[in-house]
Amino acid sequence: MAHALGTPVVVLKNVEKRFGLVEVLRDVSLSVARGETICVIGPSGSGKSTLLRCINALIPISKGSITVDGIEVADPRLDKLALRRKVGMVFQQYNLFPHRTALENVMMAPIHVLKQNRAEVSERARILLAKVRLAGKEHVYPGELSGGQQQRVAIARSLAMNPLVMLFDEVTAALDPETKKEVLVTIRELAAEGMTCILVTHEMSFAREAADNVYFTDQGVIVEHGPPAQLLANPKEARTRAFLDQVL
Amino acid sequence: MMPLRSGTDMAVLLPAGGALARPVVDARAVGFTERTFSPAVLGALLALFALAVAAAEAHGQPASAARAGILATLWKWAPLLFSGFLFNLLVSVLSMALGTVAGLALGLAQVSLLWPVRKGAGIVTQFFRNAPWLVLLFYCMFLLPFDVAVFGITVPLPAWFKAVIGLALPVMANVSEIVRGGVRSIPIAQWESAEALAFSRRQILWMVILPQSLKRMLPPWMNLYAILTMATTLISIVGIQDGMTLVRSALIAEQRTELFIPMYLMLLTWFFLYCYPIARLTMALERRFAVRA
């Protein structure tokens, strides 16, 4: 994506995360500018999902600093809810609320968290569902939707909060190739509109075409990063090359 | 969030997986209950009752002008005894309501993030869940005062209401476990996605977790109610005039030993007719919401 990048929105400095004796993240530093789309790639267990969960404080970090639009995540007095209003997150298993319809799933957070007017929220939720190509599915329960459709509802649900940043945690990993495409197209449109996106993904072609920067992680360390054209075609590190040889 | 405690025998504590919304119907189980329902079970009960009356008739002196037959005597006492039975039902409903409200609070305290609250609620739950109901009933009857002062007004605490409290205590503890199990049975991913949407913990519990766990909590809750209804006859031991007490009084008034079996059987039949459909409905719901182990 060749649009101009703005000021840094998400900044990680020397982040460490330990689960007991296991070091999941070691000295991770990165900076994501407003409107930038980055892809984090790497083998399973390299700490990619943990990295995302640290950004919206689902998991506390052990050391270092993460700021999101100036809010310090490591601050013990952190207002988690204020932070999470700025950060949307989409999960691998969609995690829609099964007892609510697609429309209600999208409407719940703006009504109950942001205390917005129900009629306005409803109108906006319908627009968002149309945007992710699910017009007509408003009153369908998640159980009756396909995986790809559920995932797009999940994206609409996050967008309804008007987040500053969107986190995508292997959102296409559970989908078949066809539905995968529907979801990736939706995310690409979002990125093209200037949404700041952080994706953990195994979709190399998506990383090549949609990302501004790609980060390769292994064993909790960012091995190298750079524009996709450079990193995916000409990696500097032997470890990155070995990984790419396996997946490409 | 606390990890799932192992060693559970409660179906609600088993992992939900994809079985959450999907009804799993075991055709064999349906056929089995369809066949055993009403005709056979109710027929057997009726036959038992007829047998008991016939046996009593044969055992006692023949009916005469001064001595009514067994059925006629039962019919004579039935209205009074039935009012006693209705009192048992009233006690069961009140105890269940009180125990459910208290149990819900205690169960939610069991999933609190504050460990003293969680531990305290756990201890209270285990204490009342593993204490004999009759002992709890005795304690309530003799330790609770005759009246309580509420905002300066003295409100009498009648014996029957103390009995209601006594029965509500074990109900509370069991509901507490049902609630804890129901909340724990919802996948962690539901918590995560709601947290990521900036819902507060309280909102997550009331809007996301409890609505989903409600249908899993319903069968064990109904089961508990059926057990409680039968256990309400315990209050006759602590001197409350319920169905049991009235049967005993009627037997003393009649002075006929052959009435003993049919009259108690009449009371039993009423309880059975009330509790059996609840048990059947519970089984039907369990099948509908079945969780594959």
Q: What is the pTM of this model?
A: 0.81
Nearest to A170 by CA among A9, A44, A60, A34: A44
Number of domains chain B contains: 1
Number of domains chain A contains: 1
CB atoms within 10 A of CB B11: 16
pLDDT average, residue stretch B244-253: 94
pLDDT average, residue stretch A21-42: 93
Nearest-angstrom CA–CA distance, B270 and B264: 10
Residue A44 has what pLDDT?
A: 86
Structural domain contains residue A3:
no
Q: What is the ipTM of this complex?
A: 0.91
Residue B12 has what pLDDT?
A: 58
Spell out which residues of chain B touch residue A156, defining contact as CB-CB under 8 Å.
Answer: none
Percentage of chain A lying above the pLDDT 70 cut:
98
Cβ atoms of B109 and B120 closer than 8 Å: yes
Structural domain contains residue A27:
yes
pLDDT average, residue stretch A62-72: 94
Structural domain contains residue A134:
yes
Structural domain contains residue B254:
yes
Nearest-angstrom CA–CA distance, A13 and A61: 11
**Best residue in B197, B200, B216 for a mutation probing chain A (most A CBs within 10 Å):** B197
Residue B59 has what pLDDT?
A: 79
Domain of A243 in residue numbering reads as 8-247
Residue A32 has what pLDDT?
A: 95
Residue B65 has what pLDDT?
A: 63
Structural domain contains residue B236:
yes
Q: Which residue has the higher pLDDT, B152 or B134?
A: B134
CATH number at residue B64: 1.10.3720.10
Domain of B248 in residue numbering reads as 11-288
Structural domain contains residue B1:
no
- Please write the tens of the pLDDT for every residue from A98-140: 999 999 999 999 999 999 999 999 999 999 999 999 999 999 9
> Is pLDDT above 90 for B54?
no
> Is pLDDT above 70 for B164?
yes
> Is pLDDT above 60 for B101?
yes
**Confidence tier at B38 by pLDDT (50, 70, 90):** low
Instruction: Annotate chain A with DSSP letters as a single string.
Output: --SPP-SEEEEEEEEEEEETTEEEEEEEEEEEETT-EEEEE--TTSSHHHHHHHHTTSS--SEEEEEETTEETT-TT--HHHHHHHEEEE-TT----TTS-HHHHHHHHHHHTS---HHHHHHHHHHHHHHTT-TT-TT--GGGS-HHHHHHHHHHHHHTT--SEEEEESTTTTS-HHHHHHHHHHHHHHHHTT-EEEEE---HHHHHHH-SEEEEEETTEEEEEE-HHHHHHS-SSHHHHHHHHHH-
pLDDT average, residue stretch B197-218: 94
Structural domain contains residue A174:
yes
Nearest to A66 by CA among A7, A5, A14: A14
- Please write the tens of the pLDDT for every residue from B176-185: 999 999 999 9
Residue B15 has what pLDDT?
A: 52
Nearest-angstrom CA–CA distance, B104 and B179: 6
Structural domain contains residue B65:
yes
Find the residue in A nearest to B210 (Cα).
A99
**Is B22 in CB contact (< 8 Å) with chain A?**
yes
- Please write the tens of the pLDDT for every residue from A162-177: 999 999 999 998 888 8
- Please write the tens of the pLDDT for every residue from B128-141: 999 999 999 999 99
**Is B15 in CB contact (< 8 Å) with chain A?**
no
Structural domain contains residue B92:
yes
> Is pLDDT above 80 for B11?
no
Structural domain contains residue B3:
no
Lowest mean pLDDT among A136-150, B80-94, B116-130, B141-155: B141-155
Lowest mean pLDDT among A69-73, A149-153, B131-135, B155-159: B155-159
> Is pLDDT above 80 for A18?
yes
Spell out which residues of chain A touch residue B207, defining contact as CB-CB under 8 Å.
Answer: 108, 112
**Confidence tier at B147 by pLDDT (50, 70, 90):** confident
Spell out which residues of chain A touch residue B212, defining contact as CB-CB under 8 Å.
Answer: 97-99
The alpha carbon torsion through B5, B10, B14, B18 (nearest 10 deg) reads: -150
* Chain A residues near any Cβ of chain B (below 8 Å): 56, 58, 80-82, 84-85, 87-89, 91, 93, 95-99, 108-109, 112-113, 141, 143, 154, 157-158, 161
CATH number at residue A127: 3.40.50.300
Nearest-angstrom CA–CA distance, A42 and A4: 27
Structural domain contains residue A75:
yes
**Is B24 in CB contact (< 8 Å) with chain A?**
no
- Please write the tens of the pLDDT for every residue from B223-236: 999 999 999 999 99
Structural domain contains residue A119:
yes
- CB-side exposure of A165: number of CA atoms within 13 Å? 28
Structural domain contains residue B5:
no
> Is pLDDT above 70 for B28?
no
Residue B10 has what pLDDT?
A: 55
Residue A192 has what pLDDT?
A: 92
Structural domain contains residue A26:
yes
Cβ atoms of B194 and B173 closer than 8 Å: no
pLDDT average, residue stretch B207-219: 92
- CB-side exposure of B34: number of CA atoms within 13 Å? 7
**CB nearest B193 (choices: A95, A141, A161):** A95
Residue B23 has what pLDDT?
A: 47
**Best residue in B24, B185, B186, B193 for a mutation probing chain A (most A CBs within 10 Å):** B193
Structural domain contains residue B4:
no
Structural domain contains residue A82:
yes
Residue B18 has what pLDDT?
A: 43
Find the residue in A nearest to B207 (Cα).
A108
Residue B24 has what pLDDT?
A: 47
Spell out which residues of chain B touch residue A141, defining contact as CB-CB under 8 Å.
Answer: 21
